[in-house]
Chains A and B, each alone.
Chain A
Amino acid sequence: MLIAKVLHSPVAHARIKNIDVSKAKSLPGVAAVLTYKDLPRVVYATAGQSDPMPGPLDTFSLDNKVRFVGDRVAFVAAETEEIANQALKLINVEYEELPFIIDPRSSMSDGAVKIHDEPEYVVHDLSDPNKNVAAAIRIDIGDLDNGFSEADQIIEAEYKVPKVHQAHIEPHVSISYWDENDRLVIRTSTQVPFHVRRILAPVLGLPMKRIRVIKPRIGGGFGSKQEVLIEDVVAHLTIATKRPVRYEYTREEEFIAARSRHPMIIKLKTGVKNDGTITANEMYALSDTGAYGCHALTVTGNTGHKAMALYTGDGKYRKAPNIRFYADIVYTNTPPSGAYRGYGAPQGFWAVERHMETIAAKLGMDPIQFRLKNCLRAGEIHPFSIAWSEGREPKPEYIQTIGIEQCVHQGKSAIGWDQKYGKQEWRDSTDKPYLKRGIGMALMMHGTAIAYLDMGGASIKMNEDGSFNLLVGATDLGTGSDTVLTQMAAEVLGVPVDDFIVYSSDTDFTPFDKGAYASSTTYISGAATTHAAAKVAERIRVRAAMILNDRTDGAPVKPDEIILKDRRAHASDGRAVTYSEIGHHSLHHKDQEQIMAVASYVSPVSPPPFAAQFAEIVMDIETGQVKVEKLVMAVDAGRIVNPVTASGQIEGGMTQALGYAVCEEMTYDDKGAPVERDLVDYHIFRADEMPELETIFVETFESSHPFGVKAVAEIPLDGVAPAVANAIYNASGAMLYENPATPDRVWKALQKQKIN
């Protein structure tokens, strides 16, 4: 198998004037060197999303221009990794360097260099490459000006969030080869195998039916693999060499040439009455998509759609909220942003939940009472559902289940809020005068799948021995979704999960599924699996009735009287048929048939999970060092199918969110070169450094789903950073507007607080 390597750009913005690969090609052991001259020029987008792509098309497998330090210049395939790396050094490139943009605030300036000047660029909705705008959002709900005119106070502030990295353990890795039928097989670490196939077909110039994408067991993605990131590299090289090719990202490539979370500058302006009623709420987000517009519209759309939907205001504003969410998502010459677990919502909740804390303080109100007074209640409409749907037609969604008051109640009691919040004695209860305790919280809401768009399919086939094959397109990326989907099918069919052989996912064999993103698998793919199981159950009842009625050892039985339990079909008179008998009977003995069903599911709603995040800290008010001592998250994610995997999601999510809160940050030098290129300089929390974590599930029953579930995957990313910053405010009075809360930043906030 050949090993692929990619030559990455050393400069932030340049046209390739000359590229000479002759020396690299003549190196023994090199099978192919590809540049933009060797590939068809097909414009596409790398974001793994459903058709039609909700964003601009602005990417080529290889281009005559590079747009960030780390952008692609050439592909190499060689017999060994050493030879491939050697070949990269032998490629001679002459760059015509162009002005570049690092700060998103200058992207839209007059006279700014155009990052995308290619004629093939395909705009989407409001995107405007002439102004370096990949996407823009203008959402107005109600009458904002009127809302502000009814306010007693208007509170404004600017917030900032950094670019952060998913840091999945397994890097991106793909293998491709021609199979014996002359079809291109791509085995890849992806969250979106079906999108890979659809998006790559035109890029490779192959009919979709000649491509097979296999997703084996994979080691995490967190959105990073909701991207068609490196599959085209191996595929182009297999097409060029006719040989199997493998490409695995190094950790450095993950930092310089993958996707990460959009950094944003967010302005908030909120009108409130003196009794704490929010009358109008306005957010403007300037979002930095980096050099390419992957997920540009949809990530930033989520920033408003989730964080600005939680607080509609009280009283008459509940029925008629005044909300504005505007955003510009601009290009810079930095590595592209993309999907990272939370998908825009962590950025939004940092701003909104810091802002709510400030407003409550200004009004002299209890911060929790203030939030609960204004937040959504059951039966109310999701305010954004009638205003915006990623460019599709918006349709109203009413929210049925909201466990947020219970989340607050149980979370408060778990962390001991009433004994700590506002208690000077507790604040000072450390062994040093400069160490102070603080406690803070945040509320969050997220979504469950994308309504009217996300589809998952499942098929179930019964075997002679009473076992079942469950084939799902749903993509278990280490989340345990294979287990959870099997649990649902097993529940419907009355068998232990061990009787299932589950397989995910393979574009040749499993039904379509949009993939693992948007907190959708348990809900969407789970409903599909449940419906497929119900169809199979129906045939099992029919066959069981047939067998029992042929026996003539009892009264006639109707299929709908039969109960499925313990691997048997039970008649009401006590007689039963084993699944093994049914399996043999259906395949071999009489009126033979394959008991098998396929079902798919798409939801008309995206029921939001809700949560309350609590954080307790100790901080050094002289150095600004913050130590988080305990995190408690109380979550309403509907009914919990598997408490172990669900609490694992919450704990893992809080771990990543804590990095966002206190230490993770990707930065670039003045030439646009990434500063952090490994896990030494880029700090993620290790298991043994984590504070005590507590997860509380406040179970509601979401009636739009057969098992009553809502999503659990992304919401734990949303609230830790603002809860920690609110705890810093509680401990010291320091107001943070920018995360993470590094000692330097906290110290600066402390200085400012002393002046005020």
Chain B
Amino acid sequence: MDQVYIRPSHLDDALEALNAYGDRAHILAGGTDLLVRMRHDGIYPEVILDLGALGELRKISRDGDDIHLGALVTHRQIEKDAMLAGEAGMLVSACHQVGSVQIRNSGTIGGNLANASPAGDAVLALYLLEAAVHLQSKHRDRWVPVGEFITAPGQTTRRADEIICGVRFKRLPPDAAVFFEKVGQRQAVTISKASAGGIVRISQGCFQECRLALGAVAPTIIRLPEVEAALAGSPVSPQVIDRAAALAAATCHPIDDIRSTVAYRRHLVQVLVHRGLAAMVASAQSA
């Protein structure tokens, strides 16, 4: 069987090609997922659509409070961006903790979204930022909230003729404190047993706004709406943090798998949420 390899220089050409080939085409961005699957699982795509030449998708841009990341922006670009640390700090620390430098130099934010792993570090940060995913086809152009975009491990609502062009989110207000931490088998180049991230804003001794997300403890990354609701408006106190962490552990539904057990993951959720809230409170209060 002949393999078709297409590397268009313009997005329109890419969309045209995808319109023609549909689900026979596999999209290649950084290659950290597709090339591994081709080599390892023996998948042999009939058509490879390489987005590598679409320079327009490699940009980080800003419009007022809106930040836009092109789909080909790499983890390393995010890590090295001078402003993102202040605008979306946990995205930067999540990207910093992905794989090795080589992986971060290749792996893209679009690819991370398409991969839809429940353990995806950068995607967890996008859940917290309530980012919207930009999907384009020859005929359509739409924005989907990241929590609706990813439906199950490896499953998204992307249609066969659509390309993930980027994501958009609002920069965090200057008084937001953020947090990201993961626990794995080794210190680096490892897939999480559990990860957690958060954003809080505190005013007049109370939690104003609180967002919490967990990775690797459910089929997709999850937010913790009950915990977030319980915290909003509550006074900042060690007891409140204790209760929130316990509630997080009680309301999540981790699974047993090759990487860990239910009991340990539940324990990690409690520790990570507790630690995250305490760290964010300390950081907000010292600011």
A interface list, Cβ under 8 A from B: 434, 622-623, 625, 627, 662-663, 667, 675, 678, 680-681, 683, 685-686, 688-689, 742-744, 747-748
A623 and B187 in contact, given A675-B258, A681-B258 (Cβ under 8 angstroms) = no
- Nearest CB of B to A431, in Å: 12
Q: Once the chains are docked, how many angstroms separate the CA of A231 from the CA of B272?
A: 52
Which residues of A lie under 8 Å from residue B237 when comparing CB positions? none
Annotate B183-224 by CB proximity to A: 1 below 8 A, 0 otherwise. Answer: 111111110010000000000000000000000000000000
Most chain A CB neighbours (cut-off 10 Å) among B40, B186, B261: B186
A-side interface mostly: loop
Residues of chain B in range 4-57 having any CB-CB distance to chain A below 8 Å: 36, 40
Which residues of B lie under 8 Å from residue A681 when comparing CB positions? 258
The 8 closest A-B pairs by CB, nearest first: A744-B264, A622-B271, A663-B185, A689-B188, A623-B183, A663-B186, A627-B187, A683-B185
Can you report 30 A-B residue pairs in the complex whose CB atoms are below 8 A from each other?
A434-B275, A622-B275, A623-B183, A623-B271, A623-B272, A625-B187, A627-B187, A663-B186, A667-B258, A675-B258, A678-B40, A680-B36, A683-B185, A683-B186, A685-B186, A686-B100, A686-B188, A688-B100, A688-B188, A689-B186, A743-B183, A743-B184, A743-B185, A743-B193, A743-B264, A744-B260, A744-B261, A747-B264, A747-B267, A748-B264
Which residues of B lie under 8 Å from residue A667 when comparing CB positions? 258
Nearest A residue (CB) for B194: A623
Q: Once the chains are docked, how many angstroms separate the CA of A73 from the CA of B275?
A: 53
Is B258 touching A689 in the complex (CB atoms < 8 A)?
no
Q: Is B268 part of the contact surface with A, judged by Cβ < 8 Å?
A: yes
- Nearest CB of A to B259, in Å: 9
Nearest B residue (CB) for A628: B187
Q: Once the chains are docked, how many angstroms separate the CA of A678 from the CA of B36?
A: 11
What number of B residues sit within 8 Å (CB to CB) of A?
21
Is A689 touching B193 in the complex (CB atoms < 8 A)?
no
A686 and B189 in contact, given A622-B275, A675-B258 (Cβ under 8 angstroms) = yes
- Nearest CB of A to B185, in Å: 5
B interface list, Cβ under 8 A from A: 36, 40, 100, 183-190, 193, 258, 260-261, 264, 267-268, 271-272, 275
* 4 new A-B contacts at CB < 8 Å, known A683-B190, A689-B188: A434-B275, A623-B272, A662-B186, A747-B264
Nearest A residue (CB) for B102: A688
Q: Once the chains are docked, how many angstroms separate the CA of A148 from the CA of B155?
A: 63
Which residues of A lie under 8 Å from residue B100 when comparing CB positions? 686, 688
Is B189 touching A689 in the complex (CB atoms < 8 A)?
yes
Nearest B residue (CB) for A745: B264
Most chain A CB neighbours (cut-off 10 Å) among B36, B185, B193: B185
Q: Once the chains are docked, how many angstroms separate the CA of A432 from the CA of B187?
A: 17
Which residues of B lie under 8 Å from residue A678 when comparing CB positions? 40
Which residues of B lie under 8 Å from residue A683 when comparing CB positions? 185-186, 190
Which residues of A lie under 8 Å from residue B271 when comparing CB positions? 622-623
Nearest A residue (CB) for B264: A744
Query: Which of the residues A623, A627, A688, A748 comes within 8 Å of B268, measured between beta carbons?
Result: A623
Which residues of A lie under 8 Å from residue B189 when comparing CB positions? 686, 689
- Nearest CB of B to A251, in Å: 9
- Nearest CB of B to A437, in Å: 16
Q: Once the chains are docked, how many angstroms separate the CA of A687 from the CA of B268?
A: 28
Q: Once the chains are docked, how many angstroms separate the CA of A155 from the CA of B36?
A: 50
Q: Once the chains are docked, how many angstroms separate the CA of A748 from the CA of B260?
A: 12
Q: Once the chains are docked, how many angstroms separate the CA of A747 from the CA of B275?
A: 16
Most chain A CB neighbours (cut-off 10 Å) among B100, B264, B275: B264
- Nearest CB of A to B261, in Å: 6
Q: Once the chains are docked, how many angstroms separate the CA of A623 from the CA of B187?
A: 13
Q: Once the chains are docked, how many angstroms separate the CA of A747 from the CA of B261?
A: 12
Q: Once the chains are docked, how many angstroms separate the CA of A434 from the CA of B181?
A: 14
Q: Once the chains are docked, how many angstroms separate the CA of A743 from the CA of B190?
A: 13
Q: Once the chains are docked, how many angstroms separate the CA of A219 from the CA of B187?
A: 27
A625 and B258 in contact, given A686-B100, A686-B189 (Cβ under 8 angstroms) = no
- Nearest CB of A to B218, in Å: 18
Most chain B CB neighbours (cut-off 10 Å) among A434, A623, A742, A747: A623
Q: Once the chains are docked, how many angstroms separate the CA of A319 from the CA of B232?
A: 74
Which residues of B lie under 8 Å from residue A675 when comparing CB positions? 258
Which residues of B lie under 8 Å from residue A743 when comparing CB positions? 183-185, 193, 264
- Nearest CB of A to B188, in Å: 5
Q: Once the chains are docked, how many angstroms separate the CA of A743 from the CA of B267?
A: 11
Which residues of A lie under 8 Å from residue B183 when comparing CB positions? 623, 625, 743
- Nearest CB of A to B271, in Å: 5
Which residues of A lie under 8 Å from residue B272 when comparing CB positions? 623
Q: Once the chains are docked, how many angstroms separate the CA of A683 from the CA of B188?
A: 11
Which residues of A lie under 8 Å from residue B260 when comparing CB positions? 744
Q: Once the chains are docked, how many angstroms separate the CA of A622 from the CA of B249?
A: 14
- Nearest CB of A to B64, in Å: 37
- Nearest CB of B to A248, in Å: 15
- Nearest CB of A to B170, in Å: 31
Q: Once the chains are docked, how many angstroms separate the CA of A744 from the CA of B256?
A: 12
Nearest B residue (CB) for A742: B185
Nearest A residue (CB) for B270: A622
Which residues of B lie under 8 Å from residue A663 when comparing CB positions? 185-186
